Amino acid sequence: MLRAGCKRFAGLANFKNQTQTLSLLRFYHERVVDHYNNPRNVGSFDKNDPTVGTGLVGAPACGDVMKLQIKVDEETGKIVDACFKTFGCGSAIASSSVATEWVKGKQMEEVLSIKNTEIAKHLSLPPVKLHCSMLAEDAIKAAVKDYEAKRAKLGENGDEAAPVDKAADA
């Protein structure tokens, strides 16, 4: 039994070595390299701008941190501009870069349906890097959530029409 166990262990070790070598042979897809070398929309908006939503997310596995910001047209609810800043691997940078490209010109509700699998497919991300695309999806959602929270807060405070009524109601 021990011999079988040892053989199995050695077999597993071989398999692990094989997959390790394979992953060393894998290289970044040209789209990832392109986004890494020519990143689109790198930058920062003013966090306190009421039309800006900021999504800040992190991946504990690799210590990556991703910030994605959207600028929304208050009247139409359309995202007119987006920018990102990511500290992480090439796949994470490329994922957030793609995310900013894809959210521009879309409605807020629309971008919530962007899935990490679409980003991963677009960049041909290997399985080990799938969490980078997940990070980008979460960043988009966080940015939208932040914008809506800001709006809700402003709605409470900046309601000039009936502050007296509010006080009366409260």
Partner 1 sequence: MSNRKLWTSALCILHRRLYSSPRFSAGFHLNLESTSVFSCSPYHAGKSIVSGSCKGGFMANFKFSVRGFCSEPVVGSVDKCWNCGTLAMSKPFLACESCKSVQPVDPSIDYFQIFGLEKEYDVKVDNLESKYKDWQKKLHPDLVHSKSEKEREYAAEQSARVIDAYYTLSKPLSRATYMLKLEGVHVDEEKTISEPDFLAEIMEVREAVEEAEDSQALNQIQHQMQGKLESWFKSFANAFKNQEYEAAVTSIQRMTYYERVKEEILKKM
User: What stretches of the chain show up as alpha helix (H) in DSSP?
Assistant: 2-25, 30-37, 90-103, 108-111, 116-123, 130-157, 163-169
> Is residue 142 within the footprint of partner 1 (CB under 8 A)?
yes
Tell me if 10 contacts partner 1 by CB under 8 A.
Answer: yes
Has 132 been annotated as catalytic?
yes
Active site residue 89: no
Instruction: Tell me how far apart the alpha carbons of residues 6 and 2 are, in angstroms, rounded to a whole number.
Output: 6
* CB 79 within 8 Å of CB 106: yes
Helix (H, G, I), strand (E, B) or coil at 143: helix
Q: Per-residue x/- mask for partner 1, residues 85 to 124, rule CB under 8 A?
A: x-x-------------------------------------
Confirm or reject binding of residue 31 to partner 1 (CB under 8 A). no
Interacting residue ranges for partner 1, rule: CB under 8 A: 1-3, 6, 9-10, 13, 56-63, 65, 67, 85, 87, 131, 134-135, 138, 142
The set of catalytic residues is 62, 132
